[in-house]
Amino acid sequence: MDTVSENRCFGGTQGVYTHASKATGTEMTFGLFQPAEAEDGPVPVLWYLSGLTCTHENAMVKAGAQAWAADQGIALVFPDTSPRGTGVADDDAYDLGQGAGFYVNATQDPWAEHFQMWDYITDELPRALFKRFALDEARQGITGHSMGGHGALTIAMSFPDRFASVSAFAPICNPISSDWGQKQFRAYLGENTALWEPHDASFLMREQGFAGPVLIDTGTADQFGDLLKTEALASAIAERRQPATLRMQPGYDHSYFFVSSFMEDHVAFHAEAMYEVSA
C-alpha cells in the first residue's frame, strides 16, 4: 500500500492511499480520514460509498464529513466506485463502466475481468484496512449517495452482523425496476433477473430487512427522483414493518449541497449505533 497524501484535518489525518487489488486486477485508490483518537487505538469506522461518475475524492472533498467524524471520534473510508486504467473496459455513457461499478461482481464480458466491486468493498479492502490502520472491526457503519446508497443498503442487508447501522442519501432503491439498474445489471450480470435481486434494496428489505437502525434522506426536488424509486423502498419498509427513518427533505436536489446539509445527522446517527456495540 502506498501513501499518495496525508493532510492534517480537524485534529486528525485525511489520507489518500493506493494498493494493488487482486479482486479488480488493477491499482485502486481510496481515502481514509482518521480522527485524533486513532493515535491511541482502534476507532469505529464509517464507510461512505459514492455515486455515478465519482472517484474516492468527491465525497472526501465535498461532503463535509470530516468535521462531524472528528467530533464523534470515528474514521471515514472513501473507496473508489470502480476499477480504472488502461485496458479496463469502459463505455461512452456516464452510467456504465468506469465510475459506475454499481457495487456488484460482473459475470459478463467485457466487464468480468476487472469489475469485481462487491468482493473489493466487502472483502479485500476491509482486510487491507484493518491490517494496517487503527480501526475497530467490531464497530462499523455504512452509508452512501445515489449508486453508493444502493451499495450501502444492499451490503448492509447482506452482512447484517458486520454493520451496526446503515444510512443513505438519495439511494437508488429499486434498480431492477429502474433505468439506473436494469441497464447496468444486464451488462454486468446478464439477462437472468434472479441474479439481480440480491442487489436490489427493495427486494432485500422485503426478504430479510436489517437488524440495526436505518436512516434515509432524499430531496423532494431530486432531479433523478423517477430513477431512484424511493416509493418502492418505502413500501417494502412498511410491508416488513422495518424500524427505519425515511425523510423527504423539502426542496433539496441530488447534489452534494444536499448531502453536506444532512451529513451531521448521518454521522451522529452512525456514531450512536457504533458506540452502543459491546466491545
Active-site position among 80, 95, 217, 222: 222
| Rounded Cα distance, 60 and 260, in Å | 11
Q: Is 92 part of the annotated catalytic residue set?
A: no
| Rounded Cα distance, 265 and 258, in Å | 12
Give the C-alpha distances (Å, rounded to integers) separating 113 from 37, 120, 191, 220. Answer: 39, 13, 18, 39
Q: Is 167 part of the annotated catalytic residue set?
A: no
191: helix, coil or strand?
coil
Q: Which three cell numbers stand for residue 213?
A: 437502525
E strands, 114-160, are 135-144
Per-residue b/e over 81-105, b at no fewer than 16 CB within 10 Å? bbbbeeebbbbeeebbbbbbbbbbb
Active-site position among 146, 167, 178, 202: 146
Q: Is 146 part of the annotated catalytic residue set?
A: yes
DSSP letter for 278, please: -
Active-site positions read 146, 222, 254
